[in-house]
Structure 1
Amino acid sequence: MKALALLAGFAALALAAPAAAADPEWTVDLGGAVRVRPDHIGGTRYLVDAVPIIEATYGDRISLSLDDGLKYRALRWGPVEAGPIAEYRQSFNDNLPRGAFRMSDVIELGGFTQVKTPIGLAEARLRHAVGGYDGWSGDLSFDTGVPITASFSLAGQARISWADSSFTEEYFGLRPHAARSFGLPRFLDEDFTTVGAELDAVQQLTPKIRLVAAVTADRIVGELRPSPIFASRNIFTTSLGFTYHWSARTPGRPQ
Protein backbone atom coordinates (compact mmCIF):
# COMPACT_ATOMS: atom_id res chain seq x y z
CA MET A 1 0.00 0.00 0.00
CA LYS A 2 2.92 2.37 0.60
CA ALA A 3 4.14 1.96 -2.97
CA LEU A 4 0.67 2.66 -4.37
CA ALA A 5 0.34 5.78 -2.20
CA LEU A 6 3.71 7.03 -3.43
CA LEU A 7 2.64 6.59 -7.04
CA ALA A 8 -0.60 8.49 -6.41
CA GLY A 9 1.34 11.34 -4.81
CA PHE A 10 3.74 11.49 -7.73
CA ALA A 11 0.75 11.70 -10.11
CA ALA A 12 -0.76 14.61 -8.19
CA LEU A 13 2.48 16.60 -8.41
CA ALA A 14 2.85 15.92 -12.12
CA LEU A 15 -0.72 16.94 -12.92
CA ALA A 16 -0.66 20.15 -10.91
CA ALA A 17 2.03 21.95 -12.93
CA PRO A 18 0.41 21.75 -16.41
CA ALA A 19 -2.96 22.74 -14.97
CA ALA A 20 -1.62 26.15 -13.99
CA ALA A 21 -0.57 26.95 -17.56
CA ALA A 22 -3.50 25.53 -19.51
CA ASP A 23 -6.74 23.66 -19.10
CA PRO A 24 -6.48 20.45 -21.15
CA GLU A 25 -9.22 17.87 -21.01
CA TRP A 26 -8.91 14.98 -18.59
CA THR A 27 -10.47 11.53 -18.39
CA VAL A 28 -10.63 9.04 -15.52
CA ASP A 29 -11.66 5.37 -15.51
CA LEU A 30 -12.01 3.75 -12.10
CA GLY A 31 -13.10 0.25 -11.24
CA GLY A 32 -12.06 -3.14 -9.99
CA ALA A 33 -11.42 -6.66 -11.24
CA VAL A 34 -11.14 -10.23 -10.04
CA ARG A 35 -7.77 -11.70 -10.99
CA VAL A 36 -6.24 -15.17 -11.14
CA ARG A 37 -2.45 -15.10 -10.73
CA PRO A 38 0.50 -17.22 -9.57
CA ASP A 39 1.09 -17.24 -5.83
CA HIS A 40 4.68 -16.23 -6.65
CA ILE A 41 6.85 -15.91 -9.75
CA GLY A 42 8.13 -19.36 -10.63
CA GLY A 43 5.33 -21.05 -8.69
CA THR A 44 2.87 -23.63 -10.00
CA ARG A 45 -0.07 -22.75 -7.72
CA TYR A 46 -2.57 -19.99 -8.50
CA LEU A 47 -4.84 -17.89 -6.33
CA VAL A 48 -7.68 -15.39 -6.81
CA ASP A 49 -7.51 -11.79 -5.62
CA ALA A 50 -9.15 -8.43 -6.27
CA VAL A 51 -7.32 -5.49 -7.86
CA PRO A 52 -8.27 -1.86 -8.50
CA ILE A 53 -8.37 -0.46 -12.03
CA ILE A 54 -7.06 3.09 -12.42
CA GLU A 55 -6.72 4.78 -15.81
CA ALA A 56 -6.42 8.55 -16.32
CA THR A 57 -5.22 11.03 -18.95
CA TYR A 58 -4.62 14.76 -18.82
CA GLY A 59 -4.40 16.35 -22.24
CA ASP A 60 -2.30 14.37 -24.70
CA ARG A 61 0.93 14.33 -22.69
CA ILE A 62 0.17 12.81 -19.27
CA SER A 63 -1.31 9.39 -18.57
CA LEU A 64 -1.63 7.33 -15.41
CA SER A 65 -2.38 3.64 -15.14
CA LEU A 66 -1.88 1.20 -12.29
CA ASP A 67 -0.72 -1.34 -14.88
CA ASP A 68 1.18 0.91 -17.28
CA GLY A 69 2.58 3.57 -14.92
CA LEU A 70 2.68 7.35 -14.88
CA LYS A 71 4.03 8.75 -18.18
CA TYR A 72 4.84 12.28 -19.25
CA ARG A 73 5.42 12.73 -22.99
CA ALA A 74 7.93 15.54 -22.61
CA LEU A 75 9.55 15.36 -26.07
CA ARG A 76 8.09 14.83 -29.52
CA TRP A 77 9.63 14.36 -32.97
CA GLY A 78 6.86 13.49 -35.42
CA PRO A 79 5.70 9.95 -34.53
CA VAL A 80 8.33 9.62 -31.76
CA GLU A 81 7.60 10.55 -28.12
CA ALA A 82 9.85 10.28 -25.07
CA GLY A 83 9.88 11.24 -21.43
CA PRO A 84 10.02 10.08 -17.80
CA ILE A 85 8.01 7.23 -16.39
CA ALA A 86 7.15 5.87 -12.93
CA GLU A 87 5.83 2.32 -12.53
CA TYR A 88 4.43 0.29 -9.66
CA ARG A 89 5.70 -3.30 -9.61
CA GLN A 90 3.56 -5.62 -7.51
CA SER A 91 5.36 -8.53 -5.93
CA PHE A 92 3.67 -11.93 -6.06
CA ASN A 93 5.00 -13.31 -2.77
CA ASP A 94 2.37 -15.65 -1.36
CA ASN A 95 3.09 -19.22 -0.20
CA LEU A 96 6.85 -18.84 -0.39
CA PRO A 97 8.91 -21.80 0.85
CA ARG A 98 10.91 -21.56 4.06
CA GLY A 99 14.23 -19.79 3.58
CA ALA A 100 12.99 -17.53 0.77
CA PHE A 101 13.29 -13.75 0.90
CA ARG A 102 10.06 -11.79 1.38
CA MET A 103 9.84 -9.70 -1.77
CA SER A 104 8.35 -6.21 -1.53
CA ASP A 105 6.38 -4.05 -3.96
CA VAL A 106 8.46 -1.24 -5.45
CA ILE A 107 8.26 1.96 -7.47
CA GLU A 108 10.50 2.01 -10.55
CA LEU A 109 11.60 5.32 -12.08
CA GLY A 110 13.08 5.78 -15.53
CA GLY A 111 12.36 6.83 -19.08
CA PHE A 112 10.60 5.63 -22.21
CA THR A 113 10.62 6.16 -25.96
CA GLN A 114 7.69 5.21 -28.15
CA VAL A 115 7.04 5.29 -31.88
CA LYS A 116 3.56 5.46 -33.42
CA THR A 117 3.15 3.30 -36.53
CA PRO A 118 0.15 2.77 -38.83
CA ILE A 119 -0.65 -0.51 -37.03
CA GLY A 120 0.32 0.13 -33.43
CA LEU A 121 2.76 1.51 -30.90
CA ALA A 122 6.35 0.33 -30.39
CA GLU A 123 7.98 1.24 -27.08
CA ALA A 124 11.21 0.82 -25.10
CA ARG A 125 11.54 1.45 -21.34
CA LEU A 126 14.42 1.52 -18.87
CA ARG A 127 13.83 1.90 -15.11
CA HIS A 128 15.54 1.63 -11.74
CA ALA A 129 13.79 0.33 -8.62
CA VAL A 130 13.48 2.68 -5.67
CA GLY A 131 14.23 0.29 -2.80
CA GLY A 132 13.14 -3.34 -3.03
CA TYR A 133 15.53 -5.21 -5.30
CA ASP A 134 17.25 -1.87 -6.08
CA GLY A 135 18.21 -2.86 -9.63
CA TRP A 136 17.52 -2.10 -13.29
CA SER A 137 14.75 -3.39 -15.54
CA GLY A 138 13.53 -2.74 -19.07
CA ASP A 139 10.94 -3.69 -21.67
CA LEU A 140 10.47 -3.76 -25.43
CA SER A 141 6.83 -3.96 -26.50
CA PHE A 142 4.43 -3.53 -29.39
CA ASP A 143 0.75 -2.68 -28.80
CA THR A 144 -2.09 -2.76 -31.27
CA GLY A 145 -5.88 -2.85 -31.20
CA VAL A 146 -9.00 -2.89 -33.32
CA PRO A 147 -12.73 -2.19 -32.81
CA ILE A 148 -14.77 -5.29 -33.60
CA THR A 149 -18.16 -3.59 -33.28
CA ALA A 150 -19.34 -0.16 -32.18
CA SER A 151 -19.26 -1.33 -28.53
CA PHE A 152 -16.64 -4.10 -28.47
CA SER A 153 -12.89 -3.84 -29.07
CA LEU A 154 -9.78 -6.00 -28.76
CA ALA A 155 -6.18 -4.98 -28.03
CA GLY A 156 -2.98 -6.98 -27.85
CA GLN A 157 0.64 -6.63 -26.80
CA ALA A 158 3.82 -8.59 -27.53
CA ARG A 159 6.76 -7.92 -25.20
CA ILE A 160 10.21 -8.80 -23.98
CA SER A 161 11.00 -7.92 -20.36
CA TRP A 162 14.36 -7.91 -18.58
CA ALA A 163 15.69 -7.27 -15.08
CA ASP A 164 19.24 -7.49 -13.78
CA SER A 165 20.70 -9.98 -11.31
CA SER A 166 19.59 -7.85 -8.35
CA PHE A 167 16.01 -8.77 -9.28
CA THR A 168 16.92 -12.45 -9.65
CA GLU A 169 18.62 -12.52 -6.26
CA GLU A 170 15.70 -10.80 -4.53
CA TYR A 171 12.97 -12.91 -6.15
CA PHE A 172 14.63 -16.32 -6.44
CA GLY A 173 17.42 -16.27 -3.88
CA LEU A 174 17.37 -18.21 -0.60
CA ARG A 175 18.74 -17.35 2.80
CA PRO A 176 22.22 -18.82 3.44
CA HIS A 177 21.10 -21.87 5.47
CA ALA A 178 18.37 -22.73 2.93
CA ALA A 179 20.71 -22.28 -0.04
CA ARG A 180 23.29 -24.63 1.52
CA SER A 181 20.69 -27.31 2.21
CA PHE A 182 19.69 -27.35 -1.47
CA GLY A 183 23.25 -27.07 -2.76
CA LEU A 184 22.57 -23.70 -4.35
CA PRO A 185 24.95 -20.73 -4.65
CA ARG A 186 24.72 -17.97 -2.05
CA PHE A 187 24.27 -15.29 -4.72
CA LEU A 188 22.47 -15.52 -8.06
CA ASP A 189 24.16 -13.65 -10.92
CA GLU A 190 21.76 -14.49 -13.76
CA ASP A 191 19.55 -11.81 -15.30
CA PHE A 192 15.78 -12.35 -15.45
CA THR A 193 14.27 -12.34 -18.96
CA THR A 194 10.75 -13.14 -20.13
CA VAL A 195 8.86 -13.08 -23.43
CA GLY A 196 5.11 -12.75 -23.43
CA ALA A 197 1.85 -11.49 -24.82
CA GLU A 198 -1.39 -9.94 -23.58
CA LEU A 199 -4.92 -9.86 -24.96
CA ASP A 200 -7.44 -7.28 -23.69
CA ALA A 201 -11.16 -7.06 -24.46
CA VAL A 202 -13.50 -4.15 -23.70
CA GLN A 203 -17.28 -4.27 -23.92
CA GLN A 204 -19.13 -0.96 -23.60
CA LEU A 205 -22.21 -1.71 -21.49
CA THR A 206 -23.45 1.88 -21.15
CA PRO A 207 -21.94 5.22 -22.22
CA LYS A 208 -20.00 5.23 -18.92
CA ILE A 209 -19.67 1.59 -17.80
CA ARG A 210 -17.32 -0.93 -19.41
CA LEU A 211 -16.71 -4.64 -18.92
CA VAL A 212 -12.97 -5.32 -19.23
CA ALA A 213 -11.09 -8.61 -19.48
CA ALA A 214 -7.40 -9.45 -19.86
CA VAL A 215 -5.28 -12.56 -20.35
CA THR A 216 -1.49 -12.47 -20.12
CA ALA A 217 1.06 -15.21 -20.76
CA ASP A 218 4.78 -14.80 -20.12
CA ARG A 219 7.59 -17.35 -20.15
CA ILE A 220 10.89 -17.08 -18.33
CA VAL A 221 13.67 -17.62 -20.86
CA GLY A 222 16.68 -16.55 -18.79
CA GLU A 223 18.98 -19.15 -17.23
CA LEU A 224 17.83 -19.91 -13.69
CA ARG A 225 18.80 -22.92 -11.59
CA PRO A 226 16.01 -25.12 -10.20
CA SER A 227 15.12 -24.26 -6.62
CA PRO A 228 12.16 -24.52 -4.22
CA ILE A 229 10.98 -21.15 -5.60
CA PHE A 230 11.61 -21.71 -9.29
CA ALA A 231 9.40 -24.64 -10.36
CA SER A 232 7.77 -23.25 -13.53
CA ARG A 233 8.85 -20.94 -16.33
CA ASN A 234 5.25 -19.96 -17.13
CA ILE A 235 3.49 -16.89 -15.68
CA PHE A 236 -0.22 -16.67 -16.54
CA THR A 237 -2.78 -14.14 -15.30
CA THR A 238 -6.43 -13.50 -16.14
CA SER A 239 -8.76 -10.76 -14.92
CA LEU A 240 -12.36 -9.65 -15.34
CA GLY A 241 -13.82 -6.39 -14.06
CA PHE A 242 -15.82 -3.21 -14.57
CA THR A 243 -14.87 0.47 -14.90
CA TYR A 244 -16.79 3.75 -14.74
CA HIS A 245 -15.73 6.63 -16.97
CA TRP A 246 -15.50 10.32 -16.12
CA SER A 247 -14.26 13.17 -18.30
CA ALA A 248 -14.00 16.95 -18.23
CA ARG A 249 -17.49 17.07 -19.74
CA THR A 250 -19.00 14.49 -17.37
CA PRO A 251 -21.40 15.82 -14.69
CA GLY A 252 -20.50 14.46 -11.26
CA ARG A 253 -16.75 14.03 -11.00
CA PRO A 254 -15.04 11.37 -8.86
CA GLN A 255 -14.29 12.49 -5.31
Structure 2
Amino acid sequence: MAYDPSKIRLFIDQPLTPGADIALTGDQVHYLRAVMRQREGDRLHAFNGRDGEWTIALTALGKKSGAARAEASVRMQSSVPDLWLVFAPIKGARLDFIVQKATELGAAALVPALTDRTIVRNINEDRLRANAVEAAEQCECLGVPEVQAARPLRNILGDWPEGRGLIFCDEGGDRPALETLQGLRGQGDSWAVLTGPEGGFTDAERDMIRRLPRAVPISLGPRIMRADTAAVAALSLFQATLGDWATPPRSGQV
Protein backbone atom coordinates (compact mmCIF):
# COMPACT_ATOMS: atom_id res chain seq x y z
CA MET A 1 0.00 0.00 0.00
CA ALA A 2 1.38 3.42 -0.96
CA TYR A 3 2.26 5.84 1.83
CA ASP A 4 -0.09 8.86 2.01
CA PRO A 5 1.51 11.80 3.90
CA SER A 6 -1.79 13.74 3.83
CA LYS A 7 -3.43 11.32 6.27
CA ILE A 8 -4.14 12.28 9.86
CA ARG A 9 -1.54 10.63 12.11
CA LEU A 10 -1.92 9.45 15.72
CA PHE A 11 0.61 8.13 18.19
CA ILE A 12 -0.86 4.94 19.65
CA ASP A 13 0.92 3.36 22.61
CA GLN A 14 -0.47 -0.06 21.73
CA PRO A 15 0.68 -2.91 19.46
CA LEU A 16 -0.02 -2.48 15.76
CA THR A 17 -0.67 -5.79 14.00
CA PRO A 18 -3.23 -6.83 11.36
CA GLY A 19 -6.71 -6.63 12.86
CA ALA A 20 -5.57 -5.31 16.25
CA ASP A 21 -8.26 -3.42 18.16
CA ILE A 22 -7.14 0.00 19.37
CA ALA A 23 -8.66 2.00 22.22
CA LEU A 24 -8.54 5.77 21.65
CA THR A 25 -7.91 8.21 24.48
CA GLY A 26 -10.36 10.96 25.37
CA ASP A 27 -8.04 13.61 23.93
CA GLN A 28 -7.74 11.66 20.67
CA VAL A 29 -11.52 11.28 20.43
CA HIS A 30 -12.00 15.03 20.94
CA TYR A 31 -9.34 15.82 18.33
CA LEU A 32 -10.84 13.47 15.75
CA ARG A 33 -14.48 14.50 16.34
CA ALA A 34 -14.31 18.20 17.10
CA VAL A 35 -11.17 19.31 15.26
CA MET A 36 -10.78 16.96 12.30
CA ARG A 37 -14.49 16.12 11.84
CA GLN A 38 -13.85 12.39 11.50
CA ARG A 39 -16.57 9.74 11.54
CA GLU A 40 -16.81 5.99 12.05
CA GLY A 41 -15.38 4.24 9.01
CA ASP A 42 -12.83 6.98 8.26
CA ARG A 43 -9.22 5.90 7.87
CA LEU A 44 -6.07 7.49 9.23
CA HIS A 45 -2.50 6.56 10.11
CA ALA A 46 -1.07 5.40 13.42
CA PHE A 47 2.43 4.69 14.79
CA ASN A 48 3.78 3.50 18.12
CA GLY A 49 7.57 3.78 17.82
CA ARG A 50 7.97 0.00 17.41
CA ASP A 51 5.83 -1.38 14.58
CA GLY A 52 6.18 1.29 11.89
CA GLU A 53 3.19 3.19 10.52
CA TRP A 54 -0.21 1.63 9.82
CA THR A 55 -3.56 2.55 8.37
CA ILE A 56 -6.34 2.22 10.92
CA ALA A 57 -10.12 2.44 10.49
CA LEU A 58 -12.33 4.14 13.08
CA THR A 59 -14.81 1.57 14.38
CA ALA A 60 -16.41 3.67 17.13
CA LEU A 61 -16.33 7.40 17.84
CA GLY A 62 -18.53 8.55 20.70
CA LYS A 63 -18.40 11.78 22.65
CA LYS A 64 -15.86 10.52 25.18
CA SER A 65 -14.60 7.18 23.90
CA GLY A 66 -13.59 5.63 20.63
CA ALA A 67 -11.93 2.67 18.98
CA ALA A 68 -10.17 1.72 15.77
CA ARG A 69 -8.84 -1.38 14.04
CA ALA A 70 -5.37 -1.73 12.51
CA GLU A 71 -5.48 -2.65 8.83
CA ALA A 72 -2.13 -2.63 7.01
CA SER A 73 1.45 -1.49 7.39
CA VAL A 74 2.44 1.46 5.17
CA ARG A 75 5.95 2.22 6.49
CA MET A 76 8.51 0.04 8.19
CA GLN A 77 10.02 1.19 11.48
CA SER A 78 13.27 3.11 11.08
CA SER A 79 15.80 4.06 13.73
CA VAL A 80 17.07 7.46 14.85
CA PRO A 81 20.57 8.18 16.18
CA ASP A 82 21.10 7.34 19.86
CA LEU A 83 21.07 11.03 20.77
CA TRP A 84 19.88 12.66 23.99
CA LEU A 85 19.19 16.34 24.51
CA VAL A 86 20.11 17.39 28.06
CA PHE A 87 18.80 20.91 28.59
CA ALA A 88 18.00 23.41 31.30
CA PRO A 89 14.25 24.13 31.36
CA ILE A 90 13.16 27.65 30.46
CA LYS A 91 9.86 29.51 30.58
CA GLY A 92 6.58 28.64 28.91
CA ALA A 93 6.36 28.61 25.16
CA ARG A 94 10.13 28.54 24.72
CA LEU A 95 10.29 25.25 26.64
CA ASP A 96 7.55 23.87 24.40
CA PHE A 97 9.61 25.01 21.40
CA ILE A 98 12.69 23.09 22.59
CA VAL A 99 10.71 19.88 23.01
CA GLN A 100 8.95 20.21 19.66
CA LYS A 101 12.09 21.01 17.67
CA ALA A 102 14.18 18.36 19.42
CA THR A 103 11.54 15.81 18.42
CA GLU A 104 11.58 17.00 14.81
CA LEU A 105 15.38 16.90 14.79
CA GLY A 106 15.46 13.25 15.86
CA ALA A 107 16.37 13.29 19.55
CA ALA A 108 15.79 9.87 21.15
CA ALA A 109 15.49 11.21 24.72
CA LEU A 110 14.81 14.56 26.40
CA VAL A 111 16.53 15.09 29.76
CA PRO A 112 15.62 18.25 31.73
CA ALA A 113 18.60 19.31 33.87
CA LEU A 114 18.25 21.63 36.88
CA THR A 115 21.35 23.82 36.95
CA ASP A 116 22.45 26.48 39.44
CA ARG A 117 20.90 29.19 37.28
CA THR A 118 17.77 27.33 36.17
CA ILE A 119 14.76 29.53 36.90
CA VAL A 120 11.99 27.07 35.98
CA ARG A 121 12.06 24.16 38.43
CA ASN A 122 8.49 22.84 38.45
CA ILE A 123 8.44 20.75 35.28
CA ASN A 124 5.18 19.38 33.89
CA GLU A 125 6.41 16.16 32.33
CA ASP A 126 2.97 15.34 30.91
CA ARG A 127 3.04 18.64 29.01
CA LEU A 128 6.53 17.93 27.68
CA ARG A 129 5.44 14.51 26.46
CA ALA A 130 2.26 15.91 24.89
CA ASN A 131 4.36 18.42 22.97
CA ALA A 132 6.70 15.66 21.81
CA VAL A 133 3.77 13.48 20.67
CA GLU A 134 2.15 16.36 18.76
CA ALA A 135 5.43 17.20 17.01
CA ALA A 136 5.99 13.55 16.05
CA GLU A 137 2.47 13.26 14.66
CA GLN A 138 2.83 16.41 12.56
CA CYS A 139 6.33 15.87 11.15
CA GLU A 140 5.99 12.21 10.12
CA CYS A 141 8.29 10.80 12.80
CA LEU A 142 7.87 7.11 13.57
CA GLY A 143 8.59 7.45 17.27
CA VAL A 144 8.39 9.83 20.23
CA PRO A 145 11.46 10.65 22.34
CA GLU A 146 11.59 9.41 25.91
CA VAL A 147 10.91 12.26 28.34
CA GLN A 148 12.94 11.76 31.50
CA ALA A 149 12.17 13.31 34.88
CA ALA A 150 13.89 16.60 35.68
CA ARG A 151 16.91 16.14 37.94
CA PRO A 152 19.79 18.27 39.19
CA LEU A 153 22.63 18.41 36.66
CA ARG A 154 25.08 17.00 39.20
CA ASN A 155 22.88 13.90 39.61
CA ILE A 156 22.56 13.41 35.85
CA LEU A 157 26.33 13.58 35.44
CA GLY A 158 26.88 11.36 38.49
CA ASP A 159 24.76 8.64 36.88
CA TRP A 160 26.13 9.16 33.38
CA PRO A 161 26.06 5.97 31.27
CA GLU A 162 29.47 4.54 30.48
CA GLY A 163 30.27 4.93 26.80
CA ARG A 164 27.89 7.81 26.08
CA GLY A 165 29.68 10.92 24.86
CA LEU A 166 28.59 14.38 25.97
CA ILE A 167 28.78 17.33 23.58
CA PHE A 168 28.89 20.34 25.89
CA CYS A 169 27.79 23.68 24.41
CA ASP A 170 30.25 25.92 26.27
CA GLU A 171 29.58 29.63 25.86
CA GLY A 172 33.08 30.32 27.11
CA GLY A 173 34.77 27.75 24.86
CA ASP A 174 36.90 28.25 21.78
CA ARG A 175 36.60 24.92 19.93
CA PRO A 176 34.60 25.48 16.69
CA ALA A 177 31.57 23.21 16.68
CA LEU A 178 31.66 21.91 13.11
CA GLU A 179 35.37 21.06 13.06
CA THR A 180 35.20 19.47 16.52
CA LEU A 181 32.18 17.32 15.70
CA GLN A 182 33.68 16.15 12.41
CA GLY A 183 36.67 14.94 14.42
CA LEU A 184 34.43 12.69 16.52
CA ARG A 185 33.38 10.42 13.64
CA GLY A 186 34.00 6.79 14.50
CA GLN A 187 34.24 7.48 18.25
CA GLY A 188 31.00 5.83 19.30
CA ASP A 189 27.31 5.80 18.44
CA SER A 190 25.79 7.03 21.73
CA TRP A 191 25.84 10.78 22.35
CA ALA A 192 24.12 13.58 24.20
CA VAL A 193 24.03 17.32 23.58
CA LEU A 194 24.05 19.54 26.68
CA THR A 195 22.74 23.11 26.55
CA GLY A 196 22.56 25.54 29.44
CA PRO A 197 20.07 27.87 31.11
CA GLU A 198 19.42 31.55 30.71
CA GLY A 199 22.56 33.09 32.16
CA GLY A 200 24.72 30.09 31.26
CA PHE A 201 26.57 27.56 33.39
CA THR A 202 28.52 28.57 36.48
CA ASP A 203 32.30 28.06 36.53
CA ALA A 204 31.82 25.19 39.01
CA GLU A 205 29.36 23.48 36.66
CA ARG A 206 31.66 23.91 33.68
CA ASP A 207 34.49 22.27 35.63
CA MET A 208 32.19 19.42 36.69
CA ILE A 209 31.04 18.83 33.10
CA ARG A 210 34.58 18.85 31.73
CA ARG A 211 35.63 16.15 34.23
CA LEU A 212 33.26 13.68 32.57
CA PRO A 213 35.47 11.17 30.66
CA ARG A 214 33.84 11.70 27.24
CA ALA A 215 32.80 15.36 27.55
CA VAL A 216 33.56 17.38 24.41
CA PRO A 217 33.16 21.16 24.74
CA ILE A 218 32.18 23.08 21.61
CA SER A 219 31.55 26.72 20.82
CA LEU A 220 28.42 27.75 18.93
CA GLY A 221 30.08 30.84 17.54
CA PRO A 222 30.67 34.48 18.43
CA ARG A 223 27.06 35.39 19.31
CA ILE A 224 25.32 34.55 22.57
CA MET A 225 22.24 32.49 21.70
CA ARG A 226 19.05 32.11 23.65
CA ALA A 227 18.74 28.70 25.29
CA ASP A 228 16.12 27.46 22.82
CA THR A 229 18.14 28.63 19.81
CA ALA A 230 21.27 26.93 21.16
CA ALA A 231 19.45 23.60 21.50
CA VAL A 232 18.23 23.70 17.89
CA ALA A 233 21.64 24.81 16.57
CA ALA A 234 23.53 22.10 18.46
CA LEU A 235 21.15 19.29 17.43
CA SER A 236 21.32 20.43 13.81
CA LEU A 237 25.12 20.42 13.85
CA PHE A 238 25.14 16.93 15.36
CA GLN A 239 22.74 15.52 12.78
CA ALA A 240 24.72 17.09 9.93
CA THR A 241 28.05 15.63 11.09
CA LEU A 242 27.43 12.54 13.26
CA GLY A 243 23.73 11.85 12.75
CA ASP A 244 21.40 10.81 9.96
CA TRP A 245 21.41 13.90 7.76
CA ALA A 246 24.55 12.84 5.96
CA THR A 247 22.84 9.72 4.54
CA PRO A 248 19.77 10.15 2.32
CA PRO A 249 16.72 8.34 3.78
CA ARG A 250 15.68 5.07 2.21
CA SER A 251 12.38 4.98 0.35
CA GLY A 252 9.53 5.25 2.82
CA GLN A 253 11.80 6.28 5.70
CA VAL A 254 11.50 9.59 7.55
Instruction: Tell me which interval the TM-score lies in, with the shorter structure as reference length.
Output: under 0.3
The normalised TM-score by structure 1 is 0.23
More strand by share: 1
More helix by share: 2
